[in-house]
C-alpha cells in the first residue's frame, strides 16, 4: 500500500503540523481569507536546489539573498535544525513535502513564504528506476491587489526510461493550474536534461498558458547542455531575472521579480 503524501508545516512557536491533500479547501471553491504577501506590488522569488545543505555557505546565501524575498522555493531541502531555524525566523510559514525520509531529516521541496497559504496540496512521484520519490507542492497566497497567486514548487523525477513517468508527475499539477483563475508561478528543478523531457515540459507549459522566464546572463546548472532549473509564470510581468553564481550547492539560485498586473 503506497504511503500517504503529506506536507509538514513549520511555523515559529507552533508544533509542526502535518497536512494531507483534502485537509484544506479545494480549488474551485471559495478559499478562506488570509493575510496577503507583504509588499507584493513587487513579488520577489528565489528558486534553488539546495543539495541537502551538503556544501558550506548555503546558509549565508539564503540569508543574503532570501531575506528580501516573499517566496523561497527550495528543492532537496533537508529539515535540519539550521534550515528550520532560518525558515521560521524569516518567514511566517515553511511547507515541506518529504520525498526521501532519511534517518534524521527528510528531504524534499520546501516553500518558504512571508504569508500563510490559503491552500496547500502536496504531491509525490516515485522514481521508476531508483524507487526513490520526488516531490512537488502547490500553495496559494493572497496578493495585496486582491488576487490569489498559485505557487508550484517541483523537483521532477530524474531517472526514467522515456517521459511517461515525467509527464505523469506533471499531470496533477496541470489539473491544479487549470482550476486556478489567478496568476501562477511554477518553478524548480525540472531535470529536463533530454530533448524528450524538454519537449514534454514546454508542451505542458504551453497547454497551461505559462511563459518561461528568460535569463540574459544565464548561469543555470546544465546537464548534457540543457538547463535543469526553470521558472514559468502567467498573469504577472517579469521585471528582473538573474542567476546567482555560487559554490554553496550544485545548482545556482534563480532570483526573479514579478509585478502583478
pTM over 0.95: no
Q: How far is CA 22 from CA 5, 27, 47, 132, 181, in A?
A: 11, 10, 27, 24, 20
pLDDT of residue 24: 47
Question: Who contacts 173 (Cβ-Cβ below 8 Å, separation ≥6)?
Answer: 123, 136, 138, 152, 154, 186
- Domain-wise residue ranges, the chain: 7-11+35-259
Please report the pLDDT score of residue 25 as a whole number. 47
**Structural class in CATH, domain 7-11+35-259:** alpha beta
Contact between 162 and 198 under an 8 Å Cβ cutoff? The reply is no
Distance (Å, whole) CA 106 – CA 218: 31
Question: DSSP 3-state assignment of 122?
Answer: strand
Q: Do the Cβ atoms of 139 and 117 come closer than 8 Å?
A: yes
Among 135, 139, 81, 133, smallest CA distance to 112 is for: 139
SS3 state at 126: strand
Q: What is the pLDDT along the chain (261 residues), one digit of tens a residue?
A: 356 889 999 999 999 999 988 544 466 666 777 899 999 999 999 999 999 999 999 999 999 998 789 999 999 999 999 999 999 999 999 999 997 766 678 899 999 999 999 999 999 876 555 456 688 999 999 999 999 999 999 999 876 566 888 888 999 999 999 999 999 999 999 999 899 999 999 999 999 999 999 998 999 989 998 999 999 999 999 999 999 999 999 999 999 999 998
Rounded distance, CA 56 to CA 89, Å?
20
User: How far, CA to CA in Å, does 91 sit from each of 10, 49, 260?
Assistant: 10, 19, 21
Amino acid at each position: 500500500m503506497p504511503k500517504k503524501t503529506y506536507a509538514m508545516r513549520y511555523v515559529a512557536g507552533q508544533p509542526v503540523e502535518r497536512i494531507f491533500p483534502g485537509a484544506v479547501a479545494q480549488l474551485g471553491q471559495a478559499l478562506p481569507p488570509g493575510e496577503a504577501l507583504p509588499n507584493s506590488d513587487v513579488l520577489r522569488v528565489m528558486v534553488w536546489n539546495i543539495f541537502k545543505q551538503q556544501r558550506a555557505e548555503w546558509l549565508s546565501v539564503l540569508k543574503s539573498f532570501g531575506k528580501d524575498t516573499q517566496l523561497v522555493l527550495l528543492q532537496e531541502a533537508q529539515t535540519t535544525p539550521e534550515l528550520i531555524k532560518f525558515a521560521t525566523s524569516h518567514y511566517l510559514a515553511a511547507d515541506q513535502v518529504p520525498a526521501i525520509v532519511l534517518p534524521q531529516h527528510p528531504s524534499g521541496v520546501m516553500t518558504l513564504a512571508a504569508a500563510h497559504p490559503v491552500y496547500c496540496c502536496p504531491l509525490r512521484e516515485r522514481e521508476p528506476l531508483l524507487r526513490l520519490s520526488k516531490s512537488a507542492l502547490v500553495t496559494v497566497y493572497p496578493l495585496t491587489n486582491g488576487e490569489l497567486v498559485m505557487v508550484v514548487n517541483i523537483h521532477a523525477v530524474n531517472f526514467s526510461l522515456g517521459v511517461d513517468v515525467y509527464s505523469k508527475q506533471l499531470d496533477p499539477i496541470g489539473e491544479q493550474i487549470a482550476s486556478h483563475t489567478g496568476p501562477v508561478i511554477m518553478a524548480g528543478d525540472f531535470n529536463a536534461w533530454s530533448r524528450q523531457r524538454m519537449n514534454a515540459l514546454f508542451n505542458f507549459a504551453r497547454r497551461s498558458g505559462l511563459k518561461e522566464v528568460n535569463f540574459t546572463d544565464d548561469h543555470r546548472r546544465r546537464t548534457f547542455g540543457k538547463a535543469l532549473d526553470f521558472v514559468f509564470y502567467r498573469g504577472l510581468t517579469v521585471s528582473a531575472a538573474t542567476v546567482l553564481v555560487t559554490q554553496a550547492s550544485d545548482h545556482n539560485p534563480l532570483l526573479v521579480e514579478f509585478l502583478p498586473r
